[in-house]
Structure 1
């Protein structure tokens, strides 16, 4: 058991008390011009609510929801001058709880969701400007409302994911293989710096200028490291008027199936095709099942897609190939955006709802499409699914291993042309363990650590991970997320945030800082520490289910 630093705890408690007194004064000043909410108020509870019970006691001093860039400037200036840290929330999907905090101010961008389409000479969209709090559903809704079939913004698979968090971390979407990562479609970003300045950086800026360096850094390492991004401008891309898409599950995970999966992973797919796979094991007392869920997207004709499936796995597993062809259909691109993405990623979408509470941990890898890697990793994933089923047969829990299909045009961009370094990766794979009883937390953590250790050496450079699939327990997150680009990111940090005001967990640190080796990994004890660092909690409001429905309706679903 770790020793307790009583003196340190007393100092921290005094700091928290002083910060809370300051926060109480600030929130009263903010409340009139800027929507601000204290613990116990309904909007506060909605904003801090999280589906992941590991972060259930994360309680910022107050929540502020600016409605304009000018208000964000005011918040930053006030917070800096009063020595209070802020945490920025966009969509709230951070796997590692980075969109919440138990100290300081939560700056929730939920009221900055404007979407503006920019049209070209033919009155069709060529670009889109998105508020810092917009979610992908808002962007897709604009294309659907205008019935712009054949036009696509290079966004996320899950419509409730925040635009800015997605893009600033790199961004893997259904059409990444065709158009590159989400950050490759970014043309402008407007950010509020620690000085409170409003700065717009563009792809046309001189790459050696401070603005050009910041634009480079924002594409892959921009999440909370250099300021608050309040607006982004992205290209609108041309796709076929109709998209082939589908989803199905397969549960007979025998030797022929494993052979087919290896063929699928190493097949030379064209850039218009994306095949994601989810390996899942669900256990309940006296009941367990393992299966693979397939999610397919194809930017082209249905007959062409069917031919690809036959060439990829038709000979090794005719039944699987037939199932994949039967469970896909061609539809207008606007219909694909309106309802198909939601249906394809329903589990991931609903899992983030605060009403669906469970404990969850994640880790991630970046695999290249090499024969020896694909064969070994696929076999190991199957082995760990079987081990999970036998280890937790009397519990209720889920293990999910998701292979997000990338490569294609995302790999054409050089590893140093944006802050995101792992361009040669073809499969960005994340593991999730999810459980419902807190007594299982330590055992689940041990299982995930063992699984992670077994796969890590096959990830790029034996360390690569993806910041948008953040792993709270990484021992050297700087190398894992940013690889050889990290020193350059530190130089950008020195230029734009020289006093390290923006200090997110697993963030970019100043050049001489040694704080890049991650945390102590003691996430099991996190809820207890958060509980003991606070006094009495205000009475909580009931779950705002009407608010959840309102949010989904606002996204067009």
Structure 2
């Protein structure tokens, strides 16, 4: 700290000398404990520009933070400058053009409240405090994906601060290659996004919130669910998007819980989900609500923070009964100290598949769904055993899947660029060579 020259930094500047440093350095995943050299809360685009130029001048590594939700904590680090854009939270609606422009620090809950109160749905994520920019730049899966596409599919333009500290724009008309790259590979790469403009979906009156629940789920019941799921999903109405977790929790034991949105009536949703109702003991509900109420119902289930290890891979195939059994076995025998260990499936298809794999940086357009593995714990002494447990099961999941979802990252990926970006990886390196040749925007799994 001695001799650290903070001249040139603007916005709120927090260092270890400040009382608020301890809280300011925390990620949503409290298993991540890093100690930045300085944290800058930018309140303006100029603050962002000044922070980038300061980091370059002083040769300090830079991390970009919006909602603090990076699974592996790459939005922070030891002895780095954390550039926090969460205060860039303005939202504007152009009702004539049917577009919404949001600051780079806007969170899911903020954009849902703004759009929902005006009658619009929005293809955002599920956790309220996730930053919309991080969500969108990694592709963006949510409960509207099969109907409206991924979050990045509604993006029509953005503004970012580049490696020189200058503001540049990207869209289909200007800096087209950068715009392409930011739709699936922009998180932490290329620059600091300070503004995003989205094409809004049509206004709606209600959406149906659907839920599946099977308490006391035996391995056989879980296998039956996955067999039903993989047969059901390819033919499911695109207006429905759900995710479902098979889990072992300290509170409930073994169970299955699924949730999502159907853009239609409740009775139609129940008919679409009827194959799952045939599973013994499965409870199914469908309730029509205004979009904003449905979103709030989902959001209230998330805690303010957790300690976890979690990741996700893409599924392209139909599994055999033996492979299904292997997947279910992944969550048998949760690790010591785990309060929740689960396997989650996230539906893809529908509008996601209408975009070609090379049309945006998000490559895995033709996957049927995402499969993720996770464990959550409370006591720090159980961190390493839980992390190893997830990595061991990830290796099994890896053998049954193709490619990893960059928004559900895992640090134990040796060839991470190909895993995250598939055949788009080489073009992404070329874009990075053009926009950030000196690699100002680097982190452990940055584009090299």
Give the TM-score normalised by the residue count of structure 2.
0.93
* Matched residue, 1:77: 53
* Matched residue, 1:372: 319
* Matched residue, 2:276: 313
SS at 1:281 equivalent: strand
Are 2:281 and 1:334 equivalent residues in the alignment?
no
SS at 2:329 equivalent: helix
Shift of 1:253: 2.2
* Matched residue, 2:412: 473
* Matched residue, 1:167: 136
SS at 1:455 equivalent: helix
* Matched residue, 2:27: 50
Unaligned residue ranges in structure 1 (runs of 5+): 1-19, 206-210, 510-557
Higher Cα Rg, which structure: 1
Correspondence 1:271-350 to 2 at 5 A: 271-283=238-250, 289-310=253-274, 312-314=275-277, 316-317=278-279, 319-320=281-282, 323-324=283-284, 327-337=285-295, 339-343=296-300, 346=301, 349-350=302-303
Deviations 1:506-556, CA, capped at 9 Å, x for gaps: 0101xxxxxxxxxxxxxxxxxxxxxxxxxxxxxxxxxxxxxxxxxxxxxxx
* Matched residue, 1:233: 197
Are 2:347 and 1:405 equivalent residues in the alignment?
yes
Are 2:182 and 1:218 equivalent residues in the alignment?
yes
Shift of 1:212: 0.8
2:155, 2:196 within 8 Å by CA — same for their partners in 1?
Answer: yes
More helix, by proportion: 1
CA distance in 2, matches of 1:199, 1:128: 19
Deviations 1:251-273, CA, capped at 9 Å, x for gaps: 23243563244213321111101
SS at 2:94 equivalent: strand
1:262, 1:378 within 8 Å by CA — same for their partners in 2?
Answer: yes
2:214, 2:281 within 8 Å by CA — same for their partners in 1?
Answer: no
CA distance in 2, matches of 1:73, 1:279: 45
1:377, 1:455 within 8 Å by CA — same for their partners in 2?
Answer: no
1:383 maps to which of 313, 321, 329 = 329
SS at 1:371 equivalent: coil
Shift of 1:239: 5.6
CA distance in 2, matches of 1:442, 1:132: 34
1:243, 1:300 within 8 Å by CA — same for their partners in 2?
Answer: yes
SS at 2:42 equivalent: coil
1:48, 1:59 within 8 Å by CA — same for their partners in 2?
Answer: yes
Pair 1:82–1:459, CA change in 2 (3 A)? same
Are 2:69 and 1:93 equivalent residues in the alignment?
yes
How many residue pairs match? The answer is 445
* Matched residue, 2:5: 25
SS at 2:69 equivalent: coil
Shift of 1:29: 5.0
**Which shifted more, 160-169 or 247-256?**
247-256
Pair 1:308–1:195, CA change in 2 (3 A)? same
Let me know the Cα RMSD of the aligned residues.
2.1
* Matched residue, 1:549: none
2:222, 2:246 within 8 Å by CA — same for their partners in 1?
Answer: no
Deviations 1:344-392, CA, capped at 9 Å, x for gaps: xx1xx31x52xx5x3x222221112x3326x45542232122232xx64
* Matched residue, 2:14: 37
Correspondence 1:106-255 to 2 at 5 A: 106-120=82-96, 126-146=98-118, 148=119, 151-205=120-174, 211-238=175-202, 240-254=204-218, 255=220
**Which shifted more, 255-264 or 219-228?**
255-264
Deviations 1:159-200, CA, capped at 9 Å, x for gaps: 211010001001001111011111111000101011111101
Pair 1:104–1:372, CA change in 2 (3 A)? closer
Give the TM-score normalised by the residue count of structure 1.
0.76
Shift of 1:433: 1.6
